[in-house]
């Protein structure tokens, strides 16, 4: 018996029902399209909804199922994609008036992989301008419509939290996966740099961009990530590693693992966040994990400054031709950041990359003494208004290319508003399996990831 609305099923739950022909891809797709019609005016997570294409894909998916051709756990599962990811025949605007009518002729590699696995695209989700800074979309946080969902993957996070998609794709160049995931009470993995192809994804910063998925659970995230990873000849930055078995790795034992707690990440003015993290650590202790305090490299401020230098310089290089032709069509903040990028000297850029290399080496040495690092996902919960929030806790793991994941661990109710809190775990290169296993065991022992917001529609 199905005990909840179809659009609230996890990928794993829906996959079992579809495989056993207890629900159809058409039924599931219609449930999400109905949900979009109901709550999208309040949440504003989508730029484009491709309802007809989605229903046609669902009918084709159902026919394959009737013919005995089951493609796997994403067969018939509806999803959304951030509007910087190329989708053939579907407008990709990058949240910018400089790019208003671009319709790609081909899909990004990740879209092709998901399509081959049977997933059904519902549409494109909102983003800040070029997934960089400024041009905040009107997207709202489903847990409280007066608060931000975070950015730049604003719509991707809000769509899953609001039950408008089973999962969504986003990107992170500083904190644009984990921050909005934490603000919206979701599970999201930023994989190792180069783990997922960025071919067909509009660049924010070549050496910093990562692709990940917003999901309701670690189990769902493993299913999606397992489909997306792999070397791609169209993206020279992808790593030459085969497909990992992430779903089976979920059940790997986590007892006796050592968790490192970086003291600098626990200096927040929000007691609710510290209490929630302490409670989460207690759960992990009951599951057999141990913890110790660790010190991160002392020059964190210099590393963050280097990160921003690299972002601006690489963005300026990517936008050089378009900016020369139409600088006045960029939003004020984006234009300001690009101008700073054009003022960056080769010496500044190379020094920033040198700092990144040293920092990455020292961060990786920490995993000689601990299995994972644990921090709050954000220094505070989703702010009021349209600002995207602070990525400061996520940046070090983007900067180094290390994998990191956020899972929901509670709520801040001190102001009378229920706003989600997340816990971030980071691990050694290529150890997404370890992070997903810990996240999964934690979610087996708690129910924060199962809660959904009540959206007040006026």
Are residues 28 and 77 in contact, defined by beta-carbon separation less than 8 angstroms? yes
Active site residue 4: no
Active site residue 82: yes
Q: In what order do the strands lie in the sheet with 46-49?
A: 46-49, 120-125, 78-82, 167-172, 210-215, 187-190, 404-412, 419-426, 372-376, 258-262, 290-294
Out of 31, 61, 152, 437, the active site residue is 152
Residues 6+ apart with CB under 8 A from 376: 265, 266, 268, 273, 274, 277, 393, 421, 422, 423, 424
Out of 24, 176, 404, 437, the active site residue is 176
Are residues 408 and 273 in contact, defined by beta-carbon separation less than 8 angstroms? no
Active site residue 176: yes
Out of 82, 113, 124, 190, the active site residue is 82
Nearest to 124 by CA among 160, 85, 163, 89: 85
Residue with tokens 């905040």: 136
For the annotated catalytic residues, the residue numbers are 82, 152, 176
């Amino acid at each position: 018996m199905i005990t909840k609305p179809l659009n609230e099923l996890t990928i794993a739950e829906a996959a079992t029902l579809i495989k056993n022909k207890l629900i159809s891809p058409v039924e599931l797709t219609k449930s999400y399209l109905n949900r979009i019609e109901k709550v999208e005016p309040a949440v504003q997570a989508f730029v484009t909804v491709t309802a007809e294409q989605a229903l046609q894909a669902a009918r084709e998916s159902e026919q394959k199922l009737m013919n005995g051709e089951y493609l796997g756990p994403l067969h018939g599962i509806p999803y959304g994609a951030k509007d910087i990811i190329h989708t053939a025949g579907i407008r990709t605007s990058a949240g910018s008036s400089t790019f208003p009518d671009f319709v790609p002729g081909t899909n990004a590699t990740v879209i092709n992989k998901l399509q081959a696995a049977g997933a059904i695209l519902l549409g494109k989700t909102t983003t800040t301008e070029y997934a960089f800074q400024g041009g905040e979309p009107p997207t709202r946080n489903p847990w409280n419509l007066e608060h931000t969902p975070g950015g730049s993957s604003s719509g991707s996070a809000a769509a899953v939290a609001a039950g408008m998609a089973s999962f969504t794709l986003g990107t992170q160049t500083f904190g644009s996966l984990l921050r909005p995931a934490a603000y919206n009470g979701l599970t999201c993995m930023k994989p190792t740099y180069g783990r997922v192809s960025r071919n067909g994804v509009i660049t924010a910063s070549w050496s910093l961009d990562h692709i990940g998925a917003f999901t309701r659970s670690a189990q769902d995230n493993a299913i999606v990530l397992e489909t997306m990873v792999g070397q791609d000849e169209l993206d020279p930055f992808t790593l030459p590693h085969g497909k990992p078995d992430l779903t089976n790795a979920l059940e790997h034992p986590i007892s006796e693992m050592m968790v490192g707690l970086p003291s600098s990440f626990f200096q927040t003015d929000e007691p609710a966040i510290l209490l929630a993290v302490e409670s989460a650590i207690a759960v992990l202790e009951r599951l057999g994990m141990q913890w110790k305090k660790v010190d991160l490299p002392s020059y964190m401020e210099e590393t963050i400054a280097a990160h921003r230098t690299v972002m601006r310089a690489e963005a300026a290089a990517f936008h050089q031709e378009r900016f020369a032709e139409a600088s006045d069509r960029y939003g004020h903040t984006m234009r300001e950041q690009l101008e700073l990028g054009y003022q960056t000297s080769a010496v500044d850029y190379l020094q920033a990359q040198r700092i990144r290399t040293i920092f990455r080496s020292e961060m990786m040495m920490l995993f000689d003494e601990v299995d994972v690092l644990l921090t709050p996902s954000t220094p505070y919960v989703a702010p009021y208004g349209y600002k995207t929030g602070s990525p400061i806790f996520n940046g070090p793991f983007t900067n180094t290319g290390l994998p990191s994941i956020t899972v929901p661990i509670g709520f801040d109710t001190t102001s009378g508003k229920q706003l989600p809190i997340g816990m971030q775990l980071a691990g050694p290169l290529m150890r997404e399996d370890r992070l997903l296993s810990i996240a999964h065991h934690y979610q087996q022992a708690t129910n924060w990831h199962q809660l959904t917001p009540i959206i007040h529609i006026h």
